[in-house]
Chain A
Amino acid sequence: MTAMSAVPVKKAPALYLVEFGVCMTLYVAAILLREWLYDPNASRTLRVAVIAMPVVPVWLAFLAVVRHYRRIDELSKVILLKNIAVAAGFMACLVTSYALLVDAGLPTLSITWAWPTLAACWAATTAINEWRAR
């Protein structure tokens, strides 16, 4: 993996933005294109492949985060891990708590809300930790 180790650390944020941006662009393109490409008369394999098309850029985005992690310096790695870990733990408790609140009468939410919730927790955790570090 000499390619990634040769990338200067200071270029890591820009490269991450580019890679993640490409993944999100592919995701949006896949969401829009699948409506256009879907043919109910096509074979089952083709229909499944078209409907599941957005799954690929989702995991490419995960890989973009991993690649970013491997490029940055040690301190940034620890900070990134702490932010993600706190956000993931907080989100897990939120999801579990809400599932119990559904039994108490709150409306059921789709699983689609899990990722935006994690993203919001991650953003809030990063912002709070950045503010505390000053």
Chain B
Amino acid sequence: MSTQALGFDTRTNLRYAAEMFGAAAVLTAAAFAARHAPAAPGTPEYIALQLLPVPAVWLLPLAMLRHYLRIDELQRLQMLQSIAITGGILAGIAWSLPFLHKAFGWTADGMWEVWFSIVFVSVTVLVNTRRLRAR
């Protein structure tokens, strides 16, 4: 399977997947290094290691932006819709959570970056499935 045998869309999507996995791998490695840093808390080395994952976080939207610049108008519109719906749903959840915490006695949960990824992938799959059915 050479790259020339693959269509443009397939190559573009594979490139996007590779860049996203690479960015996620860099982030995971940086977060792992920060968590297991052999430095005493409060020292400049400790703070520098804790800040290491921060630039890695911005590699993910950079990969999405590069993909956005490669794809055609329709795919751009679909990607924007997925991100917008994801942002809206998460904003609604974030706004509702304090009231639900008080109502049901839940404890606070972090990991918003994980929830954003899960909702974004789910919304993307739903939007594309709905579009395929409409044809």
**8 A Cβ contacts from A40-60 to B:** 47-48, 51-55, 58-59
Decide if the interface of chain A is mainly helix, strand, loop or mixed: helix
Q: When the two chains form their complex, are residues A93 and B86 in contact, meaning their CB atoms are under 8 A apart?
A: no
Q: When the two chains form their complex, are residues A111 and B97 in contact, meaning their CB atoms are under 8 A apart?
A: yes
How far apart are the CA atoms of A89 and B62 in the complex, in Å?
10
Q: When the two chains form their complex, are residues B100 and A101 in contact, meaning their CB atoms are under 8 A apart?
A: no
How far apart are the CA atoms of A92 and B53 in the complex, in Å?
14
How far apart are the CA atoms of A118 and B91 in the complex, in Å?
7
Number of A residues near B (Cβ < 8 Å) is 41
- Which residues of chain A come closer than 8 Å to B84, judged between CB atoms? 80-81, 84-85, 88
How far apart are the CA atoms of A10 and B39 in the complex, in Å?
61
Q: When the two chains form their complex, are residues B108 and A88 in contact, meaning their CB atoms are under 8 A apart?
A: no
Q: When the two chains form their complex, are residues A115 and B95 in contact, meaning their CB atoms are under 8 A apart?
A: yes
- Which residues of chain A come closer than 8 Å to B95, judged between CB atoms? 58, 114-115
**8 A Cβ contacts from B75-89 to A:** 77, 79-81, 83-84, 86-89
Is A130 located at the chain interface by the 8 A CB criterion? no
- Which residues of chain A come closer than 8 Å to B94, judged between CB atoms? 111-112, 114-115, 118
**8 A Cβ contacts from A48-91 to B:** 48, 51-55, 58-59, 61-62, 65-66, 78, 80-82, 84-85, 87-91
Number of B residues near A (Cβ < 8 Å) is 42
How far apart are the CA atoms of A111 and B93 in the complex, in Å?
10
- Which residues of chain B come closer than 8 Å to A59, judged between CB atoms? 92, 96
- Which residues of chain B come closer than 8 Å to A55, judged between CB atoms? 96, 99-100
4 cross-chain pairs, A with B, having the tightest CB-CB distances, nearest first: A88-B87, A114-B94, A104-B50, A85-B83
A residues lining the B interface (CB < 8 Å): 47-48, 51-55, 58-59, 61-62, 65-66, 78, 80-82, 84-85, 87-93, 95-97, 99-101, 103-105, 110-112, 114-115, 118
Given A88-B91, A103-B50, 5 more A-B residue pairs with CB atoms under 8 Å apart are A48-B103, A48-B104, A85-B80, A88-B86, A114-B91
Q: What are 17 A-B pairs at a CB distance below 8 A?
A: A55-B100, A62-B88, A62-B91, A81-B80, A81-B81, A85-B83, A89-B83, A89-B87, A96-B57, A97-B58, A99-B112, A100-B57, A101-B51, A111-B112, A114-B95, A115-B94, A118-B94
